[in-house]
Structures are given as structure tokens and as C-alpha cells.
């Protein structure tokens, strides 16, 4: 899946609503996970840099899998950001706010979703050019926090992450979130270990329906 500029990537994420966060142990495992999620309608994938051999894994799977948007998560510094982009990452996600990392992403015309929690951090991220701001940890703050943030910041795209599940996903979107980052409640380690790909696909479908309010 190719895009001509970073705003097309942002629009795709906003349209799809869900970014699946994956910590896979190998490229083979990641490929199977991504395939299962894609069949369930999840097409935005974040591969965390805490994954062993993450850069090589990202590059291998990116070259083999069509029709999926791949990003790199847990990007802590500009050096890692550059390596992720050169390995095929189409967007970057960080757990905290690092201005140099934002600058590096934009040097390559790649969108970045930096992590922030307070109103000041969120505004600073946006002023530095972040296309979307990751509100983390979302479960501790709740959908109401997103709704309150959208009062003074209606123009800032927010992506709550951390503790998003089937029960609260739609509430976060209704509160004004552009999209959500979903980890363990969707990409369950037990399903991956036991290679229950059909169950993972069904779970992905359930999350898609929840995003639509069904």
C-alpha cells in the first residue's frame, strides 16, 4: 500500500479508526498475525520496536504483505525513527514527546503520532507539526478526558491508546477521538502462541463493528 504524501496516510488511519499494535517474535509470526487481522478488516498495523529484530521483521513483512499500512511504534529517538523509515515504516508512533523525532519524521514526509498526556504536551506536539497526537495512557484518563480536550482543541486529531477494548472503544470515538491504538485486547498473545488465526480474525471483526457502533 503506497501513498504520495503523509496526509494521505493520516486520512487512511482516520478512515480505518483502529491501529493494531503488535509485538511479534518473528517475521513469520507477524505475517500470520497481520493476515488474520486484515481478513477481519484491520488494515493499520503498528509494529513496536520492543519486538526482537523489529526492523528486519518490519522490512520483511512490509515487502510481503499488500493492502496494509505499516507503522513503527515505541520509537524513542530520531536515530531509531530514521532506521524505521528506511525499513519501510509508513508512520511512526512514540510513547512520549520528542521534538527531534518529529522533525526527523517530517524530513522523510512520514506522519508521526507522538505520545502525550497533558493539555500542554498535546498542544506542544501539534505546534511542532504532529499530524495526530497519541493520548496515553487512555484507560487511566477515560473517554470523558478526550471529550474535554476537544473543547479547546477541536482541530487536533487524538489517538487514545492504552487499555482500549471492545467495551470502551466506541465511547472514545464518540468522545472525539480520530482513531484508537489497540494492543493486547485485540492482538492477544495466547491466540498467537496457539496459532488460532480464525479466532483472531473474528476478534478483529468484532473490533471493527464496535468502531462503527454496532
Residue 45: its pLDDT value, please?
97
At residue 213, the pLDDT reads 83
Of the CA atoms within 13 Å of residue 48, those in its CB half-sphere come to 16
Q: What angle do CA 45, 48, 54 make, to 5 degrees?
A: 105
pLDDT in the model for residue 121: 98
Which residues, in sequence order, are CB contacts of 126 under 8 Å at separation 6+? 133, 153, 155, 156
CATH T-level fold of 6-211: TIM Barrel (3.20.20)
For position 53, what pLDDT does the model report?
86
φ, ψ at 160 (rounded to 5°): -60, 135
Active site residue 134: yes
Cell 503506497, residue located: 2
The greatest distance separating any two alpha carbons of the chain, rounded to the nearest whole angstrom, comes to: 46
Catalytic residue among 17, 43, 131, 134: 134
8 Å CB contact between 152 and 141: no
Which position among 43, 46, 60, 131 bears the catalytic label?
Answer: 46
pLDDT attached to residue 1: 79
Name the residue among 125, 74, 88, 129 with its Cα closest to residue 107. 129
Query: Which residue ranges make up each domain of the chain?
Result: 6-211
E strands in 66-161: 69-73, 92-93, 112-113, 115-116, 133-135, 158-160
Give residue 198's pLDDT.
97
E strand or H helix that includes residue 149 = helix 143-149
Q: What is the pLDDT along the chain (214 residues), one digit of tens a residue?
A: 789 999 999 999 999 999 999 987 777 889 999 999 999 999 999 999 988 788 998 998 899 999 999 999 999 999 999 999 999 999 999 999 999 999 999 999 999 999 999 999 999 999 999 999 999 999 999 999 999 999 999 999 999 999 999 999 999 999 999 999 999 999 999 999 999 999 999 999 999 999 988 7
46 counts as catalytic: yes
- State pTM to two decimals: 0.95
Amino acid at each position: 500500500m503506497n501513498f504520495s504524501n503523509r496526509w494521505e496516510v493520516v486520512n487512511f488511519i482516520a478512515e480505518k479508526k483502529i491501529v493494531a499494535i503488535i509485538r511479534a517474535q518473528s517475521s513469520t509470526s507477524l505475517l500470520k498475525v497481520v493476515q488474520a487481522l486484515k481478513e477481519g478488516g484491520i488494515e493499520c498495523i503498528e509494529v513496536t520496536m520492543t519486538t526482537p529484530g523489529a526492523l528486519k521483521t518490519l522490512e520483511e513483512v512490509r515487502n510481503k504483505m499488500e493492502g496494509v499500512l505499516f507503522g513503527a511504534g515505541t520509537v524513542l529517538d530520531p536515530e531509531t525513527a530514521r532506521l524505521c523509515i528506511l525499513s519501510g515504516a509508513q508512520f511512526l508512533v512514540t510513547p512520549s514527546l520528542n521534538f527531534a523525532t518529529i522533525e526527523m519524521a517530517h524530513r522523510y514526509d512520514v506522519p508521526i503520532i507522538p505520545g502525550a498526556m497533558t493539555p500542554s504536551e498535546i498542544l506542544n506536539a501539534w505546534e511542532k507539526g504532529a499530524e495526530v497526537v497519541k493520548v496515553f495512557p487512555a484507560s487511566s484518563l477515560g473517554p470523558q478526558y478526550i471529550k474535554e480536550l476537544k473543547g479547546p482543541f477541536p482541530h487536533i486529531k487524538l489517538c487514545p491508546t492504552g487499555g482500549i477494548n471492545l467495551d470502551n472503544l466506541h465511547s472514545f470515538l464518540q468522545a472525539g477521538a480520530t482513531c484508537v491504538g489497540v494492543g493486547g485486547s485485540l492482538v492477544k498473545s495466547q491466540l498467537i502462541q496457539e496459532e488460532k488465526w480464525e479466532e483472531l480474525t473474528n476478534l478483529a471483526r468484532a473490533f471493527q463493528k464496535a468502531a462503527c457502533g454496532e
